[in-house]
Amino acid sequence: MDYTKQIQEIASKLFAEGKIDVFVGYRLTGFDENQVPVLIRDQKDVSQLVFNDRSVFNLVNYLKYEHTRNKRVGLVVKGCDSRSLNLLLTESQVKRDKLYVVGIACEGVVDEQGNKMQNCMECVFPDAIVADEMLGTPHEVRKYKVNADIDELASKGLVDRRVYFEEVFENCIRCNACRHSCPLCYCAKCCIDQETATLYNGANTTSGAFHALMTWSLHLAGRCVDCRNCEKACPSHLPLHLLHKWNERVIYENFQEHLAGVHEGDRGAFYKYSMQDPDDFIM
Amino acid sequence: MNVEIFVTDKAGLQKFYEAIIARNETWAPVEKFGKFDFKRVSSLGECDPDSPIATTRSAKPLFFPRSAKIMKYTADSTGTRVKETDEDPFTAKRVILGMKHCDARSLQVLDKVYNWDYIDNDYQKRRQNTVVISTRCDKAETHCFCTSLDYDVENLDAMDVLIVNGTEGKVHITARTEKGDAFLKENLDPASCILHPVSDEELKKQYQAFAASFRLKMNYKEINEKLSKIFDSPEFEDVSANCISCNTCAFVCPTCHCFKISDERVKDTGVRYKSYDSCNNGYFTLMAGGHNPRPVKYRRWRQRALHKFVYYKERFGENLCVGCGKCAVSCPVNISIFEVVNQVASNEVV
Amino acid sequence: MEAVANNQLVSIEKPEIVAPPNWEPVIIGILCNWCSYAGSDLTGTSRIQYPPNIRIIRVPCSSRVDPWFLIKSLQTTADGVLVSGCHPGDCHYISGNYYARRRFLVTKKLLNFVGFHEDRIQFSWVSAAEGPKFAKVVAKVTEDIKKLGPLHLYKKENFEK
Amino acid sequence: MEQLLVPMICKIDKVIQETPDIRTYRLKFKEEGLTEKFKWMPGQFVEFSLLGSGECTFCIASSVTRKGYFDCSVKRAGIVTADIHSGLEEGDEVGIRGPYGNWFPLEDIKGKNLLFVGGGIGLAPLRSLIQYCIDNRNDYKDFTILYGARTSADMCYKEEIKEWQDNKTLKVILTIDKPEETWTTNVGVVPKILEEVVKPVIENTKVITCGPPIMIKYTIQSLLKLGFADKDIITTLEMRMQCGLGKCGRCNIGSTYVCKDGPVFTNEQLKRLPDEF
């Protein structure tokens, strides 16, 4: 999967036609195979752009910052990224007419060791859903698969799970990198950071981490698109995908096979309801 | 100080480690979720003191805990009482194994800020009660640039005991401070070592090979000088464009020392904590009433870069960066502070 | 959970935590203003007894209950939480409880996944006319949570006097 | 460090509602002996903590020469200050750490004419110095106080201002931003009044100014226009602080720690700082 040339051509065409102010893409770090997101504002820098299976980071995240706000933006999206973009469009965070989206029919990206990422192996929608232009050959429709880690953990006993997650919360240093790297966390001030003392858990304690991670994952339940930006950002390498994948599974199984951001205008699972939702757990 | 170099082999080193762990409260790099971090260990099997991979987070949490209790208090109808917190677990006597050079150096840098004006007694106590055992790296990692900064890596005296791998499986153990000397006398079995009181030729050679393996090299004096002049450079806005303000760099940095104070209260009792904070945070400087001196990302980013390479230098005479590259390793978007600082400095405004 | 020697209760999630003698659980009840709160009122006025372990908080609607409330309750003092609202179709705000139902299911499952027993968080639909049902629900929740033992959440040790 | 951050407990002796959103709290130490030990200079600040809500930085608004108590004036602005306003009454207990920071250069201003320019809550740090100077009146020459507020209701320390007006050795000039029916004296923003009404003597005069950032900015501009030297203009800066000890890194402006090297700066010093306040 290498669309470097096509993307460079598209970007330079867009700049030449004056259609965009900023193009968000990837460039090489210059010293290893990894890539750095880059915001290009001038046609002469277009040659920096690359795209291959190391283009991991979800660029939709950059639509949150002042560098792209109120500007016409060109953007490269993979399948999972486009789902988050779709949600942002539905939630009125970005304007479609200010975006020029280059969609990729993604064949999966790799982690730093060069192994295919887990989420790519389980990916249901590898093709960009929102796009002005598509690169690559579209894939056939895949079936939703339950995450292997989830299966393994869910089969363990309550006490074991508690021990496992206690370790997770203890290792969290509450840098909030997960939140900042998430394309869907766009609130100006996160509810976890509201300094109203009775609700606030500002300290980096285990309990604060429990509170923060649980609240965060529940706010993303039914919205998380499994791009794994958070996991990549976490300096403690916490298995954050477990929380999201578990929620995704519960929602998929119980709420009419809902998957986040796969249809245009489709909101998160908590923004709608159905008469058929399970009721048996309520007395 | 009269430097004695003990020479032993890999097995002797393992024995040395075992003896330390058996006799002292020991902290060493332990693998968890696929990376290393300093943890309390009770046997050598749990940890890997010689791991070539540096810990993701620095040893900073052992001296400046991620969240320390300042006090507990009760406030009810009978009045307000402030209570002592529990015994600080970090002030006990302890040994840290497998610390890298850069980490050890960061403690010297932090000493400056903690000992000016108001002296941080807890930090002092933690420092005094800790024996730092450092292993010199054999090879530089991708993001390392410790040799490019204002300290002599070869003759660094930040650690108490230095371990260097020599040729033919030999291991050299030296004390670098009085504390380290006393510690070696107590814990090292001289029978397992040959004593070399004179030459340290081999150490020099190892260091030269290590220094030659660096990919990143810069002239810190030039950087200091250039950065101090370009506060208003528009370049900052460009280079910070792909930063996502995630704070990871500050939390893993061995020298970042900003903190916040927060209260938590349930009914009548409460605890006040001091915990890490980062200047990349949008509301780090937000004042009540809405005024924010650093309201946009590039200004916060600039504060962090200049604090590392200009402000701290002006104030305390040292760079607040030890060149460990931990921030670049952990950065989710692979921004390297080395590259960015050099890029800014190279675009000097007239 | 089975009682160990001396009839002491242990925490189901952390077996090393043993309840002090004569331990009584603390349960937070979050009730919707229009049905369940009125229902609990009816329970009182009709002199039906129910366990005193529940502390009641009134909210406008069951969909006002952010999962955060549940987490925070468990994190500070509560050993269990009961959320109660109108029966489906009876919501004062037309569809509030349908939204709430989805959120509750996910919250319950997620907390169970990270190692809390499912019964720590319970839900019920209680209408304004169902005074006896409210008493029954509270009795059941209290009994369930007594069986589960004390909840040891990371927080509590910080706040012991 | 943790010990340095533990506050001392104070009892609120008196609450004065100065304006709709400013209250002055008169504090006394609960523990005996602390009152004698707690010495401060005009311009210094304390960390005021409402246990459970958090800490706030307030300057001490009274002079050390008025013995036995100290005042903190609190404007309702953020979360903690809102809690302070709604939650604290006479007899309640709060935590105090301090005093921190530097103070007005008392030696430098001795024997000089003094011009105080205050706006809104900015009178609080000036009040500390004004009280100190009134109590050592013989050390100073002419004494002018210019104080401006948005409306007459927004003026704090009304009682005390009356006292100052009655004091024949002081000259007090008040102004409000917009005309009001009952208001008979000056109307207009502080820099305008400064130029048009006060017309200060420049020789041998020190100006001490404090107020909202925008007011300070324009006041300094008009002072320079009037011909004052940079070193004769003294102001106090506002930055977010948390530790007050020069450690937490919040109040850094360049290599300056406002909590240690400030909050009192002369305009000469301010010019050297990067423009980030």
Task: Show me where the domains of chain B are located.
Answer: 5-346
Question: A42 and A116: one domain?
Answer: yes
Residue C159 has pLDDT above 50, yes or no: no
The mean pLDDT value for A11-37 works out to: 89
Query: Measured between CB atoms, does B111 come within 8 Å of chain D?
Result: no
Q: For A218-237, write each residue's pLDDT tens digit.
A: 999 989 998 888 988 888 88
The mean pLDDT value for B159-183 works out to: 84
Q: Which residues pair with C58 in a beta bridge?
A: C31
> What percent of chain B is modeled with pLDDT above 90?
2
The answer, yes or no, to whether B and A have at least 3 beta-carbon pairs within 8 Å is yes
Question: A190 and A215: one domain?
Answer: yes
> What percent of chain C is modeled with pLDDT above 70?
89
Kindly state whether residue A225 falls inside one of the protein's structural domains: yes
Q: Which long-range contacts (CB under 8 A, 24 or more apart) does B314-319 make?
A: B314/B228, B314/D254, B314/D255, B315/D255, B316/B112, B316/B113, B316/B116, B317/B112, B318/B108, B318/B109, B318/B112, B318/B150, B319/B109, B319/B149, B319/B150, B319/B220, B319/B224
Q: What is the dihedral of CA B273, B279, B280, B283, to 10 degrees?
A: 70
Question: A102 and A181: one domain?
Answer: no
Between residues D38 and B86, which one has the greater pLDDT? D38
Q: What backbone torsions phi and psi does residue B85 show, to the nearest 5 degrees?
A: -85, 175
**pLDDT of A243:** 92
Query: Measured between CB atoms, does B264 come within 8 Å of chain A?
Result: yes
Kindly state whether residue A198 falls inside one of the protein's structural domains: yes
Residue of chain C nearest B83, judged by CA positions: C161
Residue A194 has pLDDT above 50, yes or no: yes
The mean pLDDT value for A173-188 works out to: 88
**pLDDT of C8:** 65
The mean pLDDT value for D217-246 works out to: 87
Q: Which structural domains are found in chain D, ordered by start?
A: 8-100 (2.40.30.10), 106-236 (3.40.50.80)
Residue C130 has pLDDT above 60, yes or no: yes
**Six-digit token pair at A31?**
């010293």
**pLDDT of C2:** 44
Asked if residue D20 lies in contact with residue D157, where contact means CB atoms within 8 angstroms, the answer is: no
Confidence of residue B348 (pLDDT cuts 50, 70, 90): low
Kindly state whether residue C62 falls inside one of the protein's structural domains: yes
Count of residues making up chain C? 161
Query: Measured between CB atoms, does B287 come within 8 Å of chain D?
Result: yes
Query: Measured between CB atoms, does B314 come within 8 Å of chain D?
Result: yes
Kindly state whether residue C55 falls inside one of the protein's structural domains: yes
Asked if the bond preceding D99 is cis, omega within 30° of 0, the reply is: yes
Q: Which residues pair with D207 in a beta bridge?
A: D115, D233
Kind plus residue range of the DSSP H or E element containing D220: helix D213-226
Contacts of D53 in chain A (CB under 8 A): 197
Cβ-in-10-Å burial (0-12, 13-18, 19+) of A171 comes to buried
Domain containing C71: what range?
27-87+102-151
Q: What is the ipTM of this complex?
A: 0.86
Question: A241 and A212: one domain?
Answer: yes
**pLDDT of B123:** 86
The mean pLDDT value for B70-78 works out to: 82
Question: A90 and A46: one domain?
Answer: yes
For residues D132 and C153, give the distance between their C-alpha atoms in angstroms, rounded to a whole number.
Answer: 53
Q: For D43-53, write each residue's pLDDT tens digit.
A: 899 998 888 77
Question: A122 and A182: one domain?
Answer: no
Q: For B286-332, write each residue's pLDDT tens digit.
A: 888 778 888 888 888 888 988 989 888 888 888 899 988 888 888 88
Q: How far does chain C reach from its first CA to its final CA, in angstroms? A: 28
Kindly state whether residue A244 falls inside one of the protein's structural domains: yes
Tokens 């523990």 locate to D31
Residue A168 has pLDDT above 70, yes or no: yes
**pLDDT of A145:** 84
Residue B198 has pLDDT above 70, yes or no: no
Between residues A116 and B203, which one has the greater pLDDT? A116
Range 327-346 of B in CB contact (< 8 A) with A: 330, 332-336, 339
Range 139-158 of B in CB contact (< 8 A) with A: 142
Subunits close to B (at least 3 CB pairs below 8 A): A, C, D
Q: What backbone torsions phi and psi does residue B265 show, to the nearest 5 degrees?
A: -135, 135
The mean pLDDT value for D58-77 works out to: 88
Residue A245 has pLDDT above 60, yes or no: yes
**pLDDT of B215:** 86
Residue A203 has pLDDT above 80, yes or no: no
The mean pLDDT value for B197-214 works out to: 77
Residue D129, CA distances (Å) to C89, D23, D40, D209 in order: 68, 19, 11, 11
**pLDDT of A101:** 92
Q: For D188-215, write each residue's pLDDT tens digit.
A: 888 888 888 877 888 888 899 988 888 8
Residue of chain A nearest C122, judged by CA positions: A282
Q: For D124-158, write each residue's pLDDT tens digit.
A: 889 999 898 888 888 888 888 999 888 888 888 88
The answer, yes or no, to whether D and C have at least 3 beta-carbon pairs within 8 Å is no
Subunits close to D (at least 3 CB pairs below 8 A): A, B
Domain containing A56: what range?
4-135
Query: Measured between CB atoms, does D83 come within 8 Å of chain A?
Result: yes
**pLDDT of A25:** 92
Question: A264 and A155: one domain?
Answer: yes
**pLDDT of C7:** 59
Mutation pick from A249, A276, A283 vs chain C, by most beta carbons of C within 10 Å, is: A283
The mean pLDDT value for A125-132 works out to: 89
For residues B283 and A194, give the distance between their C-alpha atoms in angstroms, rounded to a whole number.
Answer: 11
Kindly state whether residue A152 falls inside one of the protein's structural domains: yes
**pLDDT of D251:** 86
Query: Measured between CB atoms, does A197 come within 8 Å of chain D?
Result: yes
> What percent of chain A is modeled with pLDDT above 70?
97
Question: A59 and A155: one domain?
Answer: no
Kindly state whether residue C95 falls inside one of the protein's structural domains: no
Contacts of B268 in chain A (CB under 8 A): none
Residue A197 has pLDDT above 50, yes or no: no
Strand order through the sheet with B79-83: B79-83, B67-76, B269-276, B259-266
Contacts of A57 in chain B (CB under 8 A): 332-333
Comparing CB atoms, the residue among B56, B248, B273 nearest residue A203 is B273
Confidence of residue C1 (pLDDT cuts 50, 70, 90): very low
Residue C161 has pLDDT above 60, yes or no: no
User: For residue C123, what is the domain's CATH number?
Assistant: 3.40.50
**pLDDT of B166:** 78
Residue B135 has pLDDT above 80, yes or no: yes
Comparing CB atoms, the residue among B74, B267, B271 nearest residue C158 is B271
Q: For C22-69, write each residue's pLDDT tens digit.
A: 888 899 999 999 999 999 999 999 999 999 999 999 999 999 998 888
Q: What is the dihedral of CA A179, A180, A182, A186, to 10 degrees?
A: 90
Contact C115 A210 (CB under 8 A): no
Kindly state whether residue C36 falls inside one of the protein's structural domains: yes
For residues B100 and C72, give the distance between their C-alpha atoms in angstroms, rounded to a whole number.
Answer: 40
Query: Measured between CB atoms, does A196 come within 8 Å of chain D?
Result: yes
Question: A131 and A220: one domain?
Answer: no
Cβ-in-10-Å burial (0-12, 13-18, 19+) of A24 comes to buried
Asked if residue B47 lies in contact with residue B249, where contact means CB atoms within 8 angstroms, the answer is: no
**pLDDT of A196:** 60
Query: Measured between CB atoms, does A189 come within 8 Å of chain D?
Result: no
Kind plus residue range of the DSSP H or E element containing C121: strand C121-125
Mean pLDDT of chain B: 84
For residues C65 and C76, give the distance between their C-alpha atoms in angstroms, rounded to a whole number.
Answer: 17
Asked if residue C125 lies in contact with residue C84, where contact means CB atoms within 8 angstroms, the answer is: yes
Contact B266 C77 (CB under 8 A): yes
Contact B260 D252 (CB under 8 A): no
Kindly state whether residue C159 falls inside one of the protein's structural domains: no
Q: For B2-28, write each residue's pLDDT tens digit.
A: 567 788 888 888 888 888 888 888 888
Question: A129 and A221: one domain?
Answer: no
Mean pLDDT of chain A: 87
Kindly state whether residue C7 falls inside one of the protein's structural domains: no
**pLDDT of B87:** 67
Asked if residue A25 lies in contact with residue A59, where contact means CB atoms within 8 angstroms, the answer is: yes
The mean pLDDT value for D113-122 works out to: 88
Kindly give, in sequence order, each residue whose CB lies less than 8 Å from that of residue A113, ignoring residues fewer than 6 positions away: none
Comparing CB atoms, the residue among B69, B121, B258 nearest residue D249 is B258
Pick from A102, A135, A168: which residue ends a domain? A135
Query: Measured between CB atoms, does B278 come within 8 Å of chain D?
Result: no
Asked if residue A82 lies in contact with residue A131, where contact means CB atoms within 8 angstroms, the answer is: yes
Kindly state whether residue A279 falls inside one of the protein's structural domains: no
For residues D190 and B132, give the distance between their C-alpha atoms in angstroms, rounded to a whole number.
Answer: 60
The CA distance from D122 to the nearest CA of chain A, in Å, is 26
The mean pLDDT value for A93-109 works out to: 90
Residue D76 has pLDDT above 50, yes or no: yes
Kindly state whether residue C5 falls inside one of the protein's structural domains: no
Kindly state whether residue A282 falls inside one of the protein's structural domains: no
For the beta carbon of residue B263, count every other beta carbon within 10 angstroms.
24
Q: Where are the alpha helices (DSSP H) in B35-190?
A: 101-114, 121-128, 178-187
The mean pLDDT value for D229-250 works out to: 85
For the beta carbon of residue D85, count every other beta carbon within 10 angstroms.
17
Residue B227 has pLDDT above 90, yes or no: no
